[in-house]
Amino acid sequence: MESVQWLFNSFLIAMANHMPKIVITNQNPTIRQAIADVFETSIHRLCIWHIMRKLPNMVGCMLNGCEDFIECIKGCVWASNSPDEFEESWGEMLEEFDLADNEWLCHTYEIRELWVHAMKSQRHCEHKAENASLTSLLKLKMSYEIEKHVRNIYTHTNFYVFQRQLYIGRMYCHVQGTTNVEGDRTYQIKHNYESKTRIHYVVYNECTSECQCSCHIFDSDEIPCAHMLLVFTSNSLREILASYIINRWTKIAAKAPMYEFDNIMGDAYGEIAT
Ligand SMILES: [Zn+2]
């Protein structure tokens, strides 16, 4: 504990006593306590990647490696559009895979406030893991030029988020109809996900290059949603519109220096794993 506190205090001195706004760690209780003691005004959140990596070992051998289950929980964690939708999907996942009595999942759900809201910040903080983004290219899933364009500018993590939205847009969403009012074309989009159906409205203006969707995923995640991407690709856009590229998700931004405490975290999951 003392060595962790010493490290955090050294960081504070180096940063002229400016506390970080948010600190993301795994569930190591020593780190958690040191953050509370030293970074008094910082928000502490848990690392969703560590939680997801631990998942296969915590659900039993029947589900470990079950693609349907992995897809289901990933969809619940990464694709939910609102807290209500997340909670609904989580409940359905527990029921479908008979996991209501799984203590680890129950505890992970109880502390969801500590990790659900950290996902966006975390995308920005994955600097260490993003080094490969600067020199390598990921595999394309779809044959749209816009996917190639985004692959060239976004880091791997953010490209994956984009690619998933593009895939959902082209596979599970359909334009039901459009209306045009003074250049604003409104697309009514039917979104099928498992047994659910939702209707979203995308307003796209070709002249002003403005686009908005009623799901507001872009407002929170800053990656165009599946519905906007369906509209972009339906309009044969070869590149993502400049105003929908957020600089901090790009490879250029990933070159900027970041501060991290990964090297002292170790692999401590004990707090929620037992
Ligand atoms: Zn949308």
Nearest to 78 by CA among 232, 201, 213, 226: 226
Residues 62 and 156 in one domain: no
Regarding whether 143 and 80 lie in a shared domain, the answer is no
User: What global pTM score does this model have?
Assistant: 0.52
Mean pLDDT of the chain: 78
State which H helix or E strand residue 199 sits in.
Answer: strand 196-205
226 alpha carbon to ligand 1 midpoint, in Å?
A: 6
Rounded distance from Cα 67 to ligand 1 centre (Å):
26
SS3 54: helix
Residue 29 shares a structural domain with residue 98: yes
Domain count, the chain: 2
Give distance in angstroms: CA of 158 to centre of ligand 1.
17
pLDDT in tens, 8-20: 888 888 887 878 8
Specify whether 18 is located in the same domain as 41.
yes
Query: Are 69 and 153 in the same domain?
Result: no
Ligand 1 centroid from CA 217, angstroms: 6
* 122 shares a domain with 1: yes
pLDDT, one tens digit per residue, over 161-211 is 899 899 999 999 999 999 999 999 999 999 987 778 889 999 999 999 999
Edge-first strand order for the sheet with 196-205 is: 173-181, 184-193, 196-205, 210-213
Nearest to 209, CA basis, from 240, 246, 241, 239: 241
The pLDDT tens digits for 61-110 are 777 667 678 777 777 776 666 677 778 888 888 888 888 888 888 888 88
**14 in the same domain as 29:** yes
Asked whether residue 116 falls in the same domain as residue 140, the answer is: no
Question: How many CB atoms are closer than 10 A to CB 65?
Answer: 10
CB-based neighbours (< 5 A) of ligand 1, an ion: 200, 213, 215, 225, 227
Residues 123 and 138 in one domain: no
Confidence (pLDDT) at 80: 66
120 vs 261, residue with greater confidence: 120
Are residues 242 and 273 located together in one domain of the fold? Answer: no
Q: Are residues 123 and 1 part of one domain?
A: yes
Q: Is the separation of the CB atoms in 205 and 211 below 8 Å?
A: yes
Q: Are residues 104 and 85 in the same domain?
A: yes
How many angstroms does the Cα of residue 81 sit away from the middle of ligand 1? 9
Q: Whole domain around residue 7: which residue ranges?
A: 1-127+259-274
Neighbours of 99 (CB within 10 A): 19
CA 73 / ligand 1 centre spacing (Å):
21
